[in-house]
Amino acid sequence: MKTTIDISDSLLQEAKKLSAQRKITLRSLVEQGLREIISRQKSDQKFKLRKAGFKGNGLQDEFRGESWQKIRTAAYEGHGG
């Protein structure tokens, strides 16, 4: 598909220079740039879990090397779980 875009002269000159250095067409360079921006935009929208750590040294000694089931049982002990 053909379209027309308005680009500043200085940016166009830089793009032409870069496309010549890479030995690719200006069209290819523009398409690569658009793909990269679109890809970043999509990845920025992915869910990111915030870091929710606590100060400390990890598990208490009594739970190191234990199964998740034992840790879970202890966590819910006395809470009806």
52: in domain: no
Q: What is the pLDDT of residue 59?
A: 81
Structure-token pair, residue 71: 């840790």
DSSP, residue by residue, the chain: --------HHHHHHHHHHHHHHT--HHHHHHHHHHHHHHHHHHHTS--PPP---SS-SS-GGGTT--HHHHHHHHHTTTT-
65: in domain: no
| Range(s) of the domain holding residue 27 | 9-44
Q: What is the pLDDT of residues 12-69, one digit of tens each?
A: 999 999 999 999 999 999 999 999 999 888 877 777 778 877 777 778 888 888 999 9
Residue linked to tokens 């879970």: 72
31: in domain: yes
40: in domain: yes
63: in domain: no
The alpha carbons of the chain give a radius of gyration, in whole angstroms, of 27
77: in domain: no
Domain count, the chain: 1
Single pTM value for the model: 0.52
